[in-house]
Structure 1
Amino acid sequence: MKHLSNSLILCVAAAAAGCASDAPHDVSSIPLMRQVAPPDGWAAQAGGTRGGADAPVANVFTVSDAAQMRQALGKSVQGSRIVQVAGVIDMSEGRPYADHADQSRRGRVAVPGNTTLVGLGPRSGFVNAHLTVSRVSQVIIRNLHLRNPCDVAPRWDPKDGDGNWNAEFDAIAIVASTHVWVDRNSFTDVPVTDDTLPVVDGKTQQCHDDALDIRDASDYVTVSYNHFALHAKNTLIGASDKAEGDAGHLRITVSNNLFEFISSRAPRVRFGQVHLFNNYHVGDRKHPAYRHDYSIGVARQARIVSQANVFEVANARDCADAVKPFAQGPDAGRFSDTGSLLNGAPLAGCGVDAAPGFEVPYPFSPLPAASVAAHVRRHAGAGAGK
């Protein structure tokens, strides 16, 4: 195993400041690895999200392969830590996964609490990996290129509609965890896009699950300035209608993200109190591989506040093509919007409009919708302008 190198640190952790502006979160005097979740999101509530920002020099590691990654994230490290990814780490280490169990074990990157995991430079990240944040608190994941994992053994489910292939493994799964900030990462299926997958039993043998899932009563999460591209089912917030323990949790902000040719779940919400602002959705209802179905799914008891989001979806007819309800009656979700645009027109007539039942508790200043596309294009994704 290669020696883990400790990085020299000249600055101490300090609170990141600033809401949405042309220069978001202007913390240029603070190293990327030492920044904390900004105030304009749920992750800043209830004490804030620092990840490993206060890690001592001895707990700052730079890693460039799977073995180093496992050691840096291992139990032998005590206290807060910062793990910097140098280059692209292949968690399979060049040995194809033998089966589902092998992929589950070797491909997993288990991020412990009080950790910042950050890419060095504009091109660092993971392939053949699934990152898990499970039953911990205080995690920051930033500036990584993530190839959405492809399950080597997808399963046929005859009860999924008229039968479908389903896969496991998300690029990032946040499970029963609190105070998490996912910022400026890039997610994509490339090069294993859905049009390269075989058709079996009349259906594409789907090997991808979601890019980012947040479930099992996770709380105080901000998802900001990420670039999600070329993927079918992107983000579940609340994984099941039966997960009634999620009620009162799943307080999540999704802001300033680019969703580019995402078919659905951007995001799909159950139970949560979710704030969406200044996100930019680009899609096509006739795309050859990632046909746009809907962007925001309003499922069981969802509470969604939407502000100044932009939807540019070719061949979209009306709001129902952007915002889709999944529950009726007492289980119906609630969705309210101000200032969003669908193909240049106000987002209206969605059929699910209702008072969301919560007020956003933090200060924020959304850009007007007319400024969102340029702003998000400039700042979203790994290696983008800060």
Structure 2
Amino acid sequence: MARTRRAATVIGGLGAGALLATGAVLVPGLASAEPAPEAPAAPPMVAATAIGWAAENGGTTGGGGASPVTVGSESELTAALEGDAAKVIEVSGNVSCGDMIDVGSNTTLRGASGAQLTGCGLNIVEVENVIVENLAFDDWADDAINIQTSTNVLIDHNTFGTGYDGAVDTKRGSDFVTISWNHFNGQDKNSLVGHSDDNASQDRGHLRVSYHHNWFDGTNQRNPRVRFGNPVHVFNNLYTDVGSYGVASTQEAGVLVEGNYFENTEDPFHLGEGDSDEGTLVARDNHFENSGEGQQGGSVADVPYSYTLDPAAQIKSIVSAGAGQS
């Protein structure tokens, strides 16, 4: 599954002609100037395409074709993310920040090459239609990305180092979320779906999340740990050197685990975790290298969307080459 990157249009110099203030080009030897042709406009930045749950419920388009704004500091980023008007924001450089930053609805937030948020995370709370892509996160003081009471969210092609709590947590009735093509590198409690066992009244019937083509690289646990969401779809992910466990289905959850590649992962998936009751889990078409076979049981609701499943044996090469920030 190849990723299509956005391209910018670069307008070159005008050669020997001199550019007049009127926009005309004066060519030596001619008595008059002809207006210069208009330069072609740069194509709009196109957001990542959602596959899975984020493509349902009308789809997830973020800021769409809104004119992009570039930010390079915490104050600029905070101001740019405010409000629910359509917006496309590009982060440049390493932005150091010390708190959670709120993200408004109808937002595409992406990183330029090498862009990083250090010391803080994003609050995607009580909003809808948000895309976060091509950013690096490190040393966050709470969660790197906290999705809460929000719908239609796509987290795509980001790289996560380590921080205080979850890299990407989906909680409190959030729904229609896809987490795709990310590189999770070394975090302990990595990615949670459903924050507590006693939140059934808000979470039951929601928390539908797709995880696909992510690289869980030495992440110790919660890859993901799921409560209530049914079905949560975990497909075509790469798990390498996972310490405690890969996927846990708990507390009324139903998780479909298919077409994944598990390497050096003793416990790839199981039912129940900690004090949480067992959920259900169906596993099929997975590939195991020096890994356990996992625990499954019960049935899971049908996945309603179309998707293409890459062969599990090819996932290591596909995902290691394509996951994370570019």
Fold match, TM over 0.5? Answer: yes
Q: Deviations over 1:90-113 (max 9, x none)?
A: 014xxxxxxxxxxxxxx1211110
Deviation at 1:252, TM superposition (A): 0.7
Long gaps (5+) in structure 1: 1-20, 93-106, 151-168, 190-206, 285-291
1:280 aligns to 2:238 (yes or no): yes
Counterpart-to-counterpart distance in 2, 1:281 and 1:136:
31
Partner of 2:298: 354
Partner of 2:147: 174
| 1:50 maps to amino acid | T
Counterpart-to-counterpart distance in 2, 1:235 and 1:141:
16
| 1:143 maps to amino acid | N
Structure 1 residues 271 and 338: alpha-carbon distance in aligned structure 2, compared to 1, 3 A threshold = same
Deviation at 1:298, TM superposition (A): 1.2
Instruction: Tell which has more relative contact order, 1 or 2 (C-alpha 8 A, sep 6+).
Output: 1
Partner of 2:193: 237
1:80 aligns to 2:91 (yes or no): no
Structure 1 residues 365 and 209: alpha-carbon distance in aligned structure 2, compared to 1, 3 A threshold = same
Counterpart-to-counterpart distance in 1, 2:246 and 2:237:
11
Long gaps (5+) in structure 2: 9-42
Q: Deviations over 1:224-266 (max 9, x none)?
A: 0000001111011001000102111011100000000011000
Choose which of 240, 251, 267 in structure 2 pairs with 1:300.
Answer: 251
Mapping of residues 1-386 of structure 1, within 5 Å: 21=1, 23-24=2-3, 26=4, 33-38=45-50, 40-55=51-66, 57=67, 60-75=68-83, 79-92=85-98, 107-121=99-113, 123-150=114-141, 169-189=142-162, 208-244=164-200, 245-272=202-229, 273-283=231-241, 292-313=243-264, 316=266, 321-326=267-272, 332-343=278-289, 348=293, 350-356=294-300, 358-383=301-326
- Residues 148 and 170, structure 1, Cα contact 8 Å, conserved in 2: no
Residues matched between the structures, number: 289
Counterpart-to-counterpart distance in 2, 1:327 and 1:344:
23
- Residues 271 and 302, structure 1, Cα contact 8 Å, conserved in 2: yes
| 2:321 maps to amino acid | R
Structure 1 residues 367 and 178: alpha-carbon distance in aligned structure 2, compared to 1, 3 A threshold = same
- Residues 208 and 232, structure 2, Cα contact 8 Å, conserved in 1: yes
Deviation at 1:27, TM superposition (A): 6.8
Q: Deviations over 1:136-168 (max 9, x none)?
A: 001000000000414xxxxxxxxxxxxxxxxxx
Deviation at 1:353, TM superposition (A): 2.1
Counterpart-to-counterpart distance in 2, 1:33 and 1:180:
18
Structure 1 residues 240 and 376: alpha-carbon distance in aligned structure 2, compared to 1, 3 A threshold = same
- Residues 54 and 177, structure 2, Cα contact 8 Å, conserved in 1: yes
Partner of 2:13: none
Counterpart-to-counterpart distance in 1, 2:95 and 2:273:
41
Structure ranking higher in helix proportion? 1
Deviation at 1:125, TM superposition (A): 1.7
- Residues 300 and 327, structure 1, Cα contact 8 Å, conserved in 2: no
Percent identity over the alignment? 33
Counterpart-to-counterpart distance in 1, 2:7 and 2:48:
13
